[in-house]
Every structure is written in C-alpha cells, then in structure tokens.
Structure 1
Amino acid sequence: MQLRRTAGLILALVSMTVLATAVTGCGAEPTPKSQTGERLPPLADQFKRARGQAKSDFERDVWDRAIKTGKIDPADYEETHSRYRRCAEDAGYRETYTRTPAGLYRVDPPVGLDEDKTAFDTYMKATEDCADSSGLMRVEALYNTQISNPDLLADPKALVVQCLKKAGLVQADYTPEKFDAFMKSNFTTGDFDPMHEEAQKCFAGSGMAINAPQGNGNEPGQNPDPVENGK
C-alpha cells in the first residue's frame, strides 16, 4: 500500500486547519475530533477569513464572489489552479496533475525528486510559495470543503467514513477508529475495496490520495488518467 498526501493537498489541508483555528480563535490543544464530532466554522466565515489572507487582487475577487454567492465558483478554482501550474512551471518543475473523482487535482512531483532530499526540499518550498501566491493554498482547501464536506466535519477520517457509508461500502456501525486500523493494516483486513471508484472519491474528498497494490484481496477500480503540466 502506498499512502500519498501530495503537495497541493498537503497545503490545502494545512490551510484549512489554519483557517478554522483563526476563525474560531482556539489556541488550546483540541480534544480528538473523532470523539467530539467537532465541526468547522461556517463556510461564509471561512471565506471572509481567507479573503484577509489573499495575496492578489485576483484572489480577493474570488473571495468577494464566494462571499456574495455563498460558494466558490468552479471556474475560479480552475483559474487558480492554472495560475499555480504556471508558477510551478516557471520555477522549472514539470509536475503531473490527476483530476480526482471529486473534481480536484492531485499533484505528483517530478520523477526522481524523491531520490535527492535537498532537491525535494527545494521543490517543496518553491511549490508552497506558488500555492500561496496563486491563492491555491486557500481556494483549494475551501473548494474541497464546499463540495466534499457539506456537514463541515473537522475530522478527515470521520468525513471518509461518512462518505463510505453513503456509498454503501461499509456498514452503519463502521467508525473512524476502524478506518484508522484498516489503514494501519496496509488495507489487508478486507474492510472494503480501497480502489473502488466510490472509495477513491471519499479519499479525495478528505484530502487523501491512496493507492493500494494488487494482491491484497481487493480488486482495484478504475483510476483517472494523469494530466501532465503543460499539456
């Protein structure tokens, strides 16, 4: 099993956490969310907070539209991602982008970077700067919340489990703790097929990119075709 939280989604998850903390004003260590059922702040509040962190007039316009309509326009997400891609390409990096079933993009680093820690760290810093300056760091986080987490669940594992139940892939008594144990088993306990198309949608909606190898007792589902930068 290979569990990947790719660069763009890592940044999105971090951004979402920062935004939620800033809006709620919580500074203390929180009680584990899977036990409290904690919710994120309303999207309207998160949009307003994100606007205050915007780095360009373009991004401020995105948030103004979102605040007015109550949602991020898909076209604004696409344009924000295009700006990120151009920035990464200008920095010399040819990433691979895969559209997930949820409608977001998974980002895979250029081949071979993982063999050189210094080069990888430099790449991560450069693409983090691109995600920030383009607005993708904030727009993708809240766009993902908008389309995949209407109940504003704060625990990603709880969000996955809720989605799996709706898809009929697990029983009603399935818990985030059981899902956590399933991941730690390298998906060998047979709870459900992690490569099922609906399961992949659930993972993507929570910011996870999971590839389980064949031979673990599960039949893989269809995976989306990758889209390379510049094509």
Structure 2
Amino acid sequence: MGLRVSKGQSIAVRAFLSVLCLGVACFGAGCDGNDQSSEYIPENGAKIGASVADVMKDWLEDPDVPAAQRAVLERVAATGDMESLDYEQSWAQYRQCMTDLGYREIKLQKYPSGLYIEALHLAGTARQESKYEEDRAQCTAEHVEYVQAAYAMLAGNPNLYEDADEAVVDCLHRENLVAADYTASSFAEESARGEEDDYSFDIRDMKARSCLASNGHLTAFIGDDVEERLW
C-alpha cells in the first residue's frame, strides 16, 4: 500500500494503516510560511459517518476484530474519544509481540497529537526484511490495527472527511499552518510534485507531520532522531 490514503469508508482501517508501513516520503530543504487561518470550508464535504460512534459501530461489524481491540472500539463508540491508556497499552503489546519474535528494539515516533508511528529501521538482508514484514503484519493485526485507525481518525480527522486530502487540509487549518485559501486541491497538486520546497507550508513542522501521518502520509527526513536497529 502506498503513502496516500485511499478514499471511501470501506477501506478506512487499511488506509490509516498505511502509515505503519515503511514506505517513506523523504524531503530536502524547508518551505516558506504563509498568512494562516483556521477557517476552512471543504471542497468535498462527504463524511465517512455521521459521528464517531457510527464509524466505530461500522468497524465493529467485522467479526475478526481481536477482543482487546474490540473493547477499545466499544469504549470509543460510547465516549467519542480514546483513553490514552488504551492507546499506550495497544502499542506496548505490539512492541512486546515484536520483541518476543526476536527483534532487538521497536522504537516509535510520537507526534504532537500523541499519534505513534513505528520508526524507520536500518535495512537488513532480503530475508530479514521479508520476515519483518510478515511479523509486523501479524503483530499489528493482533494488537494495534483498529486502535491505530481509530486514534488517527480522532487526532487527524475529527470531522470525519471521506476524502483524505480534505482531512489533511482541515487538520492543517486547525493547526494554523496554512493560508485561508489553501484547499485540498492545493495540497493534492503540491503532494503530487513530491518535493519539499513545492509545499506552501513547512513540511518539517511536527504538527504538519502529525496531520499528514494521521491521514495516511508518512514523512521522514534524514537526521530524524528516532531510528530502529532491529537486528
């Protein structure tokens, strides 16, 4: 799965999980700032659900949701929010699952919203990388898949936009990181070019990176502090 979140409620969980993978957008120099505004009217206001509770109930229809994650989703459906303890425990269980499988360390990048994304790691052999992908998928599905999707939605897409670009831009506006006339179309054009200096906001700003990561974009830069050594 690529860096871009696909559109549509039916693949919401898999879309959010794209940020757990090791596909990375790497960038160079910094970007210019803008006059900023938190006011934003979306070009496409379609929603994945009428409320957080509705989205959680839809996900809970999946009979394969593991029991521990199901309990978390049920609490989110009831309260409209996620307890930090639930999120921390899910990631702790993922880390334990991976270390039990023999990995030296599992490090997490924490964003200002509280969102965790597994750090990049120093490359291993082809066999090591293949096994890592299998193990990561197994531990993710068992411990953190749905919990991560729910937390990412709450942190980065609280207005429940179906269009991932709308969700990113809404988040950027809420953080006062872009100009009042910045739209999802603006973001789509800039991200399609893919170079750091093509963006009209500071792509290195951790709040901006949080908006991106919460909605299926993983940005990484040479010199980021957090890096795993798996073997």
Deviation of the 1:102 alpha carbon: 1.5
Q: How does 1:157-172 map to 2 (within 5 A)?
A: 157-172=165-180
Please, which of 55, 73, 77 is the counterpart of residue 67 of structure 1? 77
The structure showing larger relative contact order (alpha-carbon pairs under 8 Å, at least 6 residues apart) is 2
Q: Cα RMSD (Å) of the superposition?
A: 3.4
Partner secondary structure for residue 171 of structure 2: helix
**Residue aligning to 2:137:** 128
TM-score, normalisation: structure 1: 0.70
Please, which of 100, 104, 118 is the counterpart of residue 90 of structure 1? 100
**Residue aligning to 2:89:** 79
In 2, the alpha carbon distance for the partners of 1:170 and 1:179 equals 10
Does the C-alpha gap of structure 1 residues 71 and 212 become closer, same or farther in structure 2, counting only changes over 3 Å?
A: same
Greater helix fraction, Structure 1 or Structure 2: 1
Q: Is the 8 A contact 1:160 1:206 kept in 2?
A: yes
Aligned residue type for 1:133:
E
Consecutive unaligned residues in structure 2, runs of 5 or more: 17-41
* Count of equivalent residues: 197
Residue 45 (structure 1) aligned with residue 54 (structure 2) = yes
Does the C-alpha gap of structure 1 residues 166 and 72 become closer, same or farther in structure 2, counting only changes over 3 Å?
A: closer
Residue 103 (structure 1) aligned with residue 111 (structure 2) = no
Consecutive unaligned residues in structure 1, runs of 5 or more: 21-33, 215-222
**Residue aligning to 1:193:** 202
Residue deviations 1:196-221, cap 9 Å, x none?
Answer: 2332232233232323569xxxxxxx
Q: Which runs of 4+ in 1 moved over 6 A?
A: none
Partner secondary structure for residue 197 of structure 2: coil
Deviation of the 1:18 alpha carbon: 5.6
TM-score, normalisation: structure 2: 0.70
Over the matched positions of the two proteins, sequence identity in percent amounts to: 26
Deviation of the 1:52 alpha carbon: 4.1
Partner secondary structure for residue 196 of structure 2: coil
Deviation of the 1:151 alpha carbon: 0.7
